[in-house]
């Protein structure tokens, strides 16, 4: 689904990401916190009448958009995408902070699942699901700077797709790498 179809919704998700960042990094006075909460509650009231089923929702379905309009994972910006490899960029913002400037340990598998899972399901391949994801934390993954992400197919054995990926800091050093096994689903398998 091209993002151009729902430009206002795309803008809404961008604003949501910005709100996540700002709220996480803020230490507001109590009256400002209350006003912000009331504004958020107003957004919930405005949107809840438009709740739809999974097949109709926009979030997560917009493959052409960095982050697929899914605000759970940091937005992955694809630079080069082929059938067997992909490379791009990501920024772990303040929302993903674990501590001392490092991205939260749980946010890295989130990104790897997104990047490897996306690649595992491209090139006319049938849908597959993550069977395992092994992440090595080599150095801290810094919050703030733009990081390079690369992933490629390692091998395929029947229904099993083995993919590997790396995250590099601005100095080019690997901060984390991952290997994932994605198993192609049988017909009718959820
Ligand atoms: C529909 C998918 C998405 C489509 C997306 C479209 C494109 C959208 C664009 C962008 C997307 C971006 C991001 C999305 C992608 C993220 C994907 C996820 O995160 S999925 C959620 C998390 N994963 C689960 O919830 C799986 C839960 N587990 C299962 O459903 C099953 O266990 C499953 C399918 C993984 C395998 O079960 P079995 O019954 O089909 O197959 P068995 O016979 O158990 O395994 C097949 C082979 O794999 C090995 N295997 C299975 N699990 C293994 C493991 N953990 N470790 C080692 N080997 C394992 C087995 O030993 C077997 O090997 P032998 O054929 O005998 O050689």
ipTM at complex level = 0.93
Question: pTM here?
Answer: 0.94
- Does ligand 1 come within 6 angstroms of the Cβ of 151? no
User: CA-CA distance, 75 to 84, in Å (whole number)?
Assistant: 21
Domain boundaries, the chain: 73-184
User: CA-CA distance, 59 to 160, in Å (whole number)?
Assistant: 28
pLDDT at 76: 96
Ligand 1, closest atom to CA 63? 9
List beta partners, residue 174.
168
Q: Please list the ranges in the chain whose pLDDT falls under 70.
A: 1-4
CA of 88 to the centre of ligand 1 (A): 24
pLDDT at 2: 46
Rg of the chain over all Cα atoms, to the nearest angstrom: 18
What is the pairing mode between strands 102-103 and 97-99? antiparallel
> Residue 151 in contact with residue 130, Cβ under 8 Å?
no
pLDDT at 5: 85
**What DSSP assignment string belongs to 106-172?**
THHHHHHHHHHHHHHT-TTPPPEEEEEEEEEE-S--BSSSEEEEEEEEEEEETTEEEEEEEEE-TTS
User: CA-CA distance, 165 to 153, in Å (whole number)?
Assistant: 9
- Does ligand 1 come within 6 angstroms of the Cβ of 118? yes
Phi, psi angle pair for 90, to nearest 5°: -145, 150
The string of pLDDT tens digits covering residues 6-45 is: 999 999 999 999 999 999 999 999 999 999 999 999 999 9
User: CA-CA distance, 92 to 74, in Å (whole number)?
Assistant: 6
Domain 73-184 CATH superfamily: Hotdog Thioesterase (3.10.129.10)
- Does ligand 1 come within 6 angstroms of the Cβ of 75? no
Q: Whose CA is nearest to atom 58 of ligand 1?
A: 131
pLDDT at 3: 52
């Amino acid at each position: 689904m091209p993002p151009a179809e729902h430009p206002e919704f795309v803008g809404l998700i961008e604003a949501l990401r910005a709100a996540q960042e700002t709220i996480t990094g803020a230490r507001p006075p109590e009256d400002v916190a209350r006003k912000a909460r009331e504004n958020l509650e107003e957004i919930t009231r405005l949107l809840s009448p438009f709740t739809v089923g999974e097949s109709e929702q926009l979030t997560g379905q917009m493959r052409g958009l960095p982050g697929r309009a899914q605000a759970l994972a940091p937005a992955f910006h694809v630079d080069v995408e082929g059938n067997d490899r992909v490379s791009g960029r990501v920024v772990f913002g303040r929302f993903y902070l674990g501590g001392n400037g490092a991205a939260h340990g749980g946010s890295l598998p989130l990104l790897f699942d997104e990047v490897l899972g996306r690649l595992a399901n491209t090139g006319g391949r049938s849908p597959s699901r993550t069977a395992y994801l092994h992440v090595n934390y080599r150095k801290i993954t810094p919050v703030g700077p733009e990081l390079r992400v690369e992933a490629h197919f390692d091998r395929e054995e029947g229904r099993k797709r083995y993919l590997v990926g790396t995250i590099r800091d601005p100095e080019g050093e690997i901060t984390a790498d991952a290997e994932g096994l994605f198993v192609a689903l049988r017909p009718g398998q959820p």
